[in-house]
């Protein structure tokens, strides 16, 4: 299995262990792991398009969390009318971008904000959000609009 698939499975495991009283540490790691699952999914989807296989791991290291988040925010700000793409494809892309943006923010809270109390319901729902993004990405991975999105994850926006 690929790293992103393993991470998603691990996020689910962390979210559902300790049946009666989940530890905050498990819930926090589940949120963080769900974020890293989608982070690595998007990187893998991008670098697999690079023809020279030996250079892919090097290319994977240039991705920055904040830039990927900004690119995802831009997808959501753009609206759906102008692209000329099928509404279904755009809906899937927005689901991916929404999941990335929400998990990015929740991961920051989970890793750095000790005042936040997590509940299993919340965390299970966030892992489901990541799982939904995986399914959406699988459905649209060959669409041109997705290629543009993947490129925007690591190329600086022109001003």
Partner 1 sequence: MYVPRGVAERKQLAAAIARVSRKLGTDVIRLRYSVQENWSGEPSIYFRVVLTDQASKPPRLHKVAKKVEAIIEEQINPLHSWGLFSYYNFRSKSEQDDLKEPAWA
Give the residues lining the site for partner 1 (CB under 8 A): 66, 69-70, 73, 76-77, 79, 101-102, 104-106, 108-109, 117, 119-122, 124-125, 128
Least separation, in Å, of the C-beta of 43 and partner 1?
19
Least separation, in Å, of the C-beta of 155 and partner 1?
18
Among residues 8, 19, 15, 9, which one has the least CA distance to residue 29?
Answer: 15
Query: Which residue's CB is nearer to partner 1, number 62 or number 76?
Result: 76
Q: What is the dihedral of CA 43, 136, 69, 25, to 10 degrees?
A: -90
Query: Which residue's CB is nearer to partner 1, number 47 or number 153?
Result: 153
Among residues 141, 145, 151, which one has the least CA distance to residue 50?
Answer: 151
Least separation, in Å, of the C-beta of 10 and partner 1?
17
Q: What angle do CA 131, 58, 40 make, to 5 degrees?
A: 5
């Amino acid at each position: 299995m690929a790293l992103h698939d393993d991470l998603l499975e691990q996020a689910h495991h962390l979210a559902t262990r300790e049946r009666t009283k989940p530890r905050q540490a498990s819930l926090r790691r589940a949120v963080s792991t769900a974020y890293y699952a989608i982070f690595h999914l998007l990187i893998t989807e991008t670098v697999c398009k690079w023809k020279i296989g030996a250079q892919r791991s090097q290319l994977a290291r240039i991705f920055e969390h904040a830039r990927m988040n900004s690119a995802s925010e831009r997808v959501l700000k753009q609206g759906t009318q102008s692209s000329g793409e099928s509404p279904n494809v755009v809906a899937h892309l927005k689901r991916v971008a929404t999941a990335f943006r929400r998990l990015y923010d929740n991961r920051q809270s989970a890793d750095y904000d000790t005042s936040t109390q997590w509940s299993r319901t919340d965390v299970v729902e966030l892992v489901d959000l990541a799982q939904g993004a995986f399914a959406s990405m699988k459905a649209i991975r060959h669409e041109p609009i997705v290629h543009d999105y993947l490129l925007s994850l690591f190329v600086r926006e022109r001003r």
